[in-house]
Structure 1
Amino acid sequence: MYNSYLDTFICVADCGSFNKAAEQLFISPTAVMKQINALEKQLDLILLNRTAKGITLTKAGESIYKDAKYMIAYSEQAIKKAGKLAQTERKTLRVGTSMLNPCKVFMDLWYQVSDQFSQFKIQVIPFEDDHDGILSVISQIGQTFDFIVGVCDSSQWLYLCNFYRLGEFRKMIAVPHSHRLAKKKRLKITDLYGETLMMVKRGDSEINDLLRDDLEKNHPQIHIEDTPHFYDINVFNRCEETNQLLLNLECWRDIHPSLVSISVDWNYTIPYGLLYPKKPSNTILEFLDALSSFDLSQD
């Protein structure tokens, strides 16, 4: 936007010496002098009085010195302004992705609508699944992420973000390959009698609490072991290590290579969709409005 030699000129004027300016600019004094000579030649002006005692600004140099600082500041503001406009035109959507909350669902629906909304671009941002830290991740929706794809009826999650429902996933049972039930194509609830079923503890998911109520009231032969409110890979590892059952979702059926997920004769499902900020930007609202005109349900 401006002649970069002006930066060198200002530094020389402030230091009063080619040598001192060279130290600050991390170049040689010879390079500093060459840049000043080149600037004076381009402007056809003498900017510096060179004496044995040092340098001083000429009248022309004083004028250029004052205006150059303004030009540099204005140029920086102009670049920032242009960058913001370019970012607005691109309308980048930042999508979080992890092992348990992959962005594939988002990308699949994106490919359905992208031709109609070429002004949007996608940036995929990875995060870690950790039951102790997931709420911190969810709280970053609107800052680090615009969207995270997730299964959600968590009261703690929904306190921190909005939810755009896309469909439902069936609740299934995951069992280790060595387990007696692993060969079954479909399970009856009575098949679970005598087994320990790992599932999230009460208090966060209304759907899971309803399922737990059903099991405790009507099927007390199934022992229930609490897991943290939010799964991470350690929960799947424990299922495999203890040879127990794990309440799972069809979207997680391939998470752990040593587990097989089997459908159950019940009607329990959980919604999945897009988690987005409590105070969404106009770009996010525009994208969600665009989605509403498409049949995106994957039920």
Structure 2
Amino acid sequence: MIEQLKTFVQVTESGSFSKAAEKLFISSTAVMKQMNLLEKQTGVPLFIRTNHGVRLTKAGTAFIKDAEFMLQYFQESLIRMHQSAQANRHIIRVGTSILNPCNILIDLWNGISDLYPQFGINIVHFEDDAHTLPTTYRMIGQSLDIIAGPFLTDNLKDYYRLLELGSYRVCFAVSRQHRLASRKTLCVEDLYGERLAIVNGGNSAVIHEIRDFLKMKHPQIRIKDVPRLYDLDVFNRCEESNTVMLTLEAWADIHPSLVTIPSDLDFTVPYGLIYPLHPSEEVGQFLEIIKEMRERFD
């Protein structure tokens, strides 16, 4: 009915079905069908049709102001409805960075967001800087509600909880000039005689396990411990020094001068959502939705 009222008003203003069709970006046939249906529903003729166009009947003249009023009231009602919905909408602030991309959450949420219109997502960017990241993690629950990414920072577990969504394969990254850069996969033995940078400023149990395994089983690899968190400066230094770096498949496109190559290491690093120890009720509800949807997919 609303579309018919819009067409009725436009035909009245244009004085022609064809001119109204041009304004409405529909065919003249569609306009005539709508007006025929409107006249059938009202039970009276609304237009006098001539070879030169159309004009309103007495009934149409009486109806036009009411039609305009109904359209205006409908638009105002829509505005009030959207304002009410926005007032009750909960915005979840999701932190994102190059090394902690939020696409793992956004891809999942986009598939179900229509079912939960009470929630919206606000993307908040932060820098991957080893000196400021600890402060960023401590802001979870204050200026951020959630960070999505790999779990490589056990040091800060006093500040957050984890909702695991999956795992990333462990890979090796080398400079494009490195002798191993053309390989499709790398065995641990391929790194014999090489320097391997292992970054573990976050005191990750998984990284500790990988390091201990390599030290014990493959002493031919020269382990270079990097006591800091992963950031872009680590990638830059490894590329400049031609040092192999332990990395993740999710970071394959981080540095244009590094090649990320799958390894035969039987280790994975979990990823998912990092959230406050005591989330708000709204954030808790959002996390439960994500958890239920993830379990349904598994």
TM more than 0.5: yes
Q: What's the counterpart of residue 178 of structure 1? A: 177
Counterpart of 2:199, as a letter, is V
270-279 vs 101-110, which deviates more?
Answer: 101-110
Q: What's the counterpart of residue 166 of structure 1? A: 165
The separation in 2 between residues aligned to 1:115 and 1:107, in whole angstroms, is 13
Secondary structure, counterpart of 1:187 in structure 2: coil
Counterpart of 1:217, as a letter, is M
Q: What's the counterpart of residue 106 of structure 1? A: 105
Q: TM-score, normalised by structure 1?
A: 0.68
Q: What's the counterpart of residue 205 of structure 1? A: 204
Following superposition, the deviation at residue 203 of structure 1 comes to 7.3
Q: What's the counterpart of residue 151 of structure 1? A: 150
Deviations 1:7-47 (A, max 9, x none): xxxxxxxxxxxxxxxxxxxxxxxxxxxxxxxxxxxxxxxxx
Counterpart of 1:125, as a letter, is V
The separation in 1 between residues aligned to 2:247 and 2:264, in whole angstroms, is 14
Note the residue ranges of structure 2 that are not aligned, 5 or more in a row. Answer: 1-83
Counterpart of 2:294, as a letter, is D
Asked if structure 1 preserves the Cα contact closer than 8 Å seen for 2:141 and 2:279, the reply is yes
Q: What's the counterpart of residue 187 of structure 2? A: 188
Secondary structure, counterpart of 1:260 in structure 2: strand
Following superposition, the deviation at residue 200 of structure 1 comes to 1.8
Secondary structure, counterpart of 1:292 in structure 2: helix
Following superposition, the deviation at residue 295 of structure 1 comes to 3.2
Q: What's the counterpart of residue 124 of structure 2? A: 125
Following superposition, the deviation at residue 228 of structure 1 comes to 3.1
Secondary structure, counterpart of 1:144 in structure 2: coil
Q: Could you say if the C-alpha distance between residues 291 and 235 of structure 1 is closer, same or farther in structure 2, counting changes exceeding 3 Å?
A: same
The separation in 1 between residues aligned to 2:124 and 2:254, in whole angstroms, is 20
260-269 vs 190-199, which deviates more?
Answer: 260-269
Following superposition, the deviation at residue 87 of structure 1 comes to 6.7
Asked if structure 2 preserves the Cα contact closer than 8 Å seen for 1:174 and 1:259, the reply is yes
The separation in 2 between residues aligned to 1:108 and 1:238, in whole angstroms, is 32
Following superposition, the deviation at residue 229 of structure 1 comes to 3.2
Following superposition, the deviation at residue 99 of structure 1 comes to 1.0
| 1:255 is aligned to 2:254 | yes
Following superposition, the deviation at residue 133 of structure 1 comes to 1.0
The separation in 1 between residues aligned to 2:186 and 2:297, in whole angstroms, is 24
Asked if structure 1 preserves the Cα contact closer than 8 Å seen for 2:192 and 2:221, the reply is yes
Q: Could you say if the C-alpha distance between residues 271 and 142 of structure 1 is closer, same or farther in structure 2, counting changes exceeding 3 Å?
A: same
Q: TM-score, normalised by structure 2?
A: 0.69
Q: Could you say if the C-alpha distance between residues 256 and 153 of structure 1 is closer, same or farther in structure 2, counting changes exceeding 3 Å?
A: closer
Asked if structure 2 preserves the Cα contact closer than 8 Å seen for 1:100 and 1:252, the reply is yes
Counterpart of 1:269, as a letter, is T
The separation in 2 between residues aligned to 1:181 and 1:214, in whole angstroms, is 22
The separation in 2 between residues aligned to 1:149 and 1:289, in whole angstroms, is 15
Which structure 1 residue ranges, 4+ long, deviate > 3 Å from structure 2?
Answer: 85-88, 295-299
Asked if structure 2 preserves the Cα contact closer than 8 Å seen for 1:162 and 1:278, the reply is yes
Q: What's the counterpart of residue 234 of structure 1? A: 233
The separation in 1 between residues aligned to 2:200 and 2:94, in whole angstroms, is 29
Following superposition, the deviation at residue 102 of structure 1 comes to 1.3
Counterpart of 2:236, as a letter, is N
Counterpart of 1:100, as a letter, is L
Q: Could you say if the C-alpha distance between residues 234 and 203 of structure 1 is closer, same or farther in structure 2, counting changes exceeding 3 Å?
A: closer
Asked if structure 1 preserves the Cα contact closer than 8 Å seen for 2:152 and 2:202, the reply is no
Secondary structure, counterpart of 2:234 in structure 1: helix
The separation in 2 between residues aligned to 1:287 and 1:122, in whole angstroms, is 10
Deviations 1:159-181 (A, max 9, x none): 21111100000110000011000
Counterpart of 1:255, as a letter, is I
Following superposition, the deviation at residue 201 of structure 1 comes to 4.1
The separation in 2 between residues aligned to 1:124 and 1:210, in whole angstroms, is 34
Q: What's the counterpart of residue 213 of structure 2? A: 214
Secondary structure, counterpart of 2:266 in structure 1: coil
Q: Could you say if the C-alpha distance between residues 223 and 238 of structure 1 is closer, same or farther in structure 2, counting changes exceeding 3 Å?
A: same
Following superposition, the deviation at residue 296 of structure 1 comes to 6.5
The separation in 2 between residues aligned to 1:116 and 1:161, in whole angstroms, is 28
Q: What's the counterpart of residue 286 of structure 1? A: 285
Percent of aligned positions with the same letter in both sequences? 44
Q: Could you say if the C-alpha distance between residues 276 and 224 of structure 1 is closer, same or farther in structure 2, counting changes exceeding 3 Å?
A: same
The separation in 2 between residues aligned to 1:223 and 1:159, in whole angstroms, is 33
Q: What's the counterpart of residue 44 of structure 1? A: none
Asked if structure 1 preserves the Cα contact closer than 8 Å seen for 2:235 and 2:255, the reply is yes
Counterpart of 2:220, as a letter, is Q
Asked if structure 1 preserves the Cα contact closer than 8 Å seen for 2:165 and 2:294, the reply is no
Note the residue ranges of structure 1 that are not aligned, 5 or more in a row. Answer: 1-84
